[in-house]
Chain A
Amino acid sequence: AQKITQTQPGMFVQEKEAVTLDCTYDTSDPSYGLFWYKQPSSGEMIFLIYQGSYDQQNATEGRYSLNFQKARKSANLVISASQLGDSAMYFCAMREGWVTSYDKVIFGPGTSLSVIP
């Protein structure tokens, strides 16, 4: 079974509007962390935001925020005021358990976001 599900293979958003990219996850471990990465057409993976399962507040980083709904096991990425440079693939990833090493991180299949001028 997929541990990380991103149900939107492709999305479009008008420039300056907000957009939500969906991510649901599956784990029975009470301790886990959730990451979002951006991959522009140039190929590199860029870290955006992190949410820990015990974090009391939703994570925010500039225009990025994570809508963390623990009971629903969802960790949606919200991008406010979309810019043309936000056009990219976006990956949700999860690390389970108390270990912090990256070898335990599982990536979702990604969502392609296109920002329309």
Chain B
Amino acid sequence: DAGITQSPRHKVTETGTPVTLRCHQTENHRYMYWYRQDPGHGLRLIHYSYGVKDTDKGEVSDGYSVSRSKTEDFLLTLESATSSQTSVYFCASARDRELKNTEAFFGQGTRLTVV
């Protein structure tokens, strides 16, 4: 299994404050992803990265930004947290895109509560 760790695992923050979630992978995977998981919605893609400094928006990118300065690290930032961003956030990485059955490897999630 890929080594993917997310930090912090739990966070409570106040509305309007900036928050940064970190994803670290040790598998040298090129592709990395940030999702949010909400009841009834499954996982929805926020942003993804296809290489160092190469990122793009996903389905629910408003209010979020990302950065990838190293292969192993992918940061998700909420510039000014809102209550609607209370969710469980998952990071994932994938080895390559040449194989149709390539699966993504997921971190254990970060539970973020915005009060």
Q: Interface of A with B (CB < 8 Å)? A: 4, 33, 35, 37, 42-47, 50, 52, 91, 93, 95, 99-103, 105, 107-110
Kindly state whether residue B104 has any CB partner on chain A within 8 Å. Answer: yes
Q: Across the interface, do B101 and A33 meet the contact criterion of CB distance under 8 Å?
A: yes
* Chain B residue contacts of A44, Cβ below 8 A: 106-109
A95 CA / B102 CA spacing, docked (Å): 11
**Nearest chain B CB to A104's CB is how many angstroms away?**
9
A99 CA / B48 CA spacing, docked (Å): 15
Interface centre among A35, A45, A95, A107 (most CB of B within 10 A): A45
**Nearest chain B CB to A42's CB is how many angstroms away?**
7
Q: Interface of B with A (CB < 8 Å)? A: 31, 33, 35, 40-45, 48, 50, 56, 58, 88, 90, 92, 94, 97-109
**Nearest chain A CB to B109's CB is how many angstroms away?**
4
A103 CA / B104 CA spacing, docked (Å): 10
